[in-house]
Amino acid sequence: MSFDRSLARCSFCGRRPPEVRRMVAGPGAAYICEKCLQTCNEILDDPTPFSAKALELASRPPVVIAAPQLQEQDLPSIPYEPVRTIKLELEQKQQGMTLMLYELQFYQKHFELHYLWIRPPFPAGFAFVPRLIFLVKDNTGAEWAGDRGGMMKTRPELVSDPNLVVYQGSARFRPLPSSEAQTLTVRAANPLGQFEGPAPDLWKFEITL
């Protein structure tokens, strides 16, 4: 598959080649510039799970690039039925927002956490995509970070209070927990918290497997 490299833009910040010294090409239309690589290095050097830099990177609006179109027959057909589903009824309120974890789904090679995020609507003109980032740890010390999974959907039919918005989302983690894993500790942060208030919201839940 070919892609016109003159259209290159950093997938993390949107800068174009004249604005950066180096641009590293990834697969398809993906690129990263040396400034964003520098930021990634700083994130890797910072032991805190939700460092300010990591939250800043996660909260950037997506860079839209005319990506090469995959033909329908090129897409792998993945069986999308969970092997096992654990129903959850976990709910926590932080700074006027509620995070509800309602399902943990196990697939052949990954697991997914499904949630509802109930919060006041973003102010008009707010440029960022709503999202939560997760950090998961099990009782054996294994850790999974950050995968944000699919897009969040608004679920207007679930709203009972006109001052709130309900977002439905999921986060995907790989690999599966080992057979010794009995509990998962899930921490979640709203990366936009830094723009909306003093500190990012942190939720913490315990799940028994």
Name the site residues for Zn ion (rule: CB under 5 A): 10, 12-13, 33, 36
Instruction: Compute the least distance from the CB of residue 148 to Zn ion, in Å.
Output: 19
Residue placing its CB nearer to Zn ion in the complex, 37 or 202: 37
Rounded Cα distance between 48 and 10, Å, is 26
Contact indicator for 13, 151 with CB cutoff of 8 Å? no
Phi, psi of 134 (to 5 degrees): -120, 150
Those residues with Cβ within 8 angstroms of residue 122's Cβ, 6 or more apart along the chain or in another chain = 128, 130, 165
Contact indicator for 116, 102 with CB cutoff of 8 Å? yes
Collapsing DSSP states into helix, strand and coil, what is residue 51? coil
Residue placing its CB nearer to Zn ion in the complex, 13 or 129: 13
Instruction: Compute the least distance from the CB of residue 29 to Zn ion, in Å.
Output: 14
Instruction: Compute the least distance from the CB of residue 4 to Zn ion, in Å.
Output: 19
Residue placing its CB nearer to Zn ion in the complex, 37 or 207: 37
Indicate the residue whose CB is closest to Zn ion: 10
Instruction: Compute the least distance from the CB of residue 33 to Zn ion, in Å.
Output: 3
First to last CA, the chain: 43
Residue placing its CB nearer to Zn ion in the complex, 62 or 96: 62
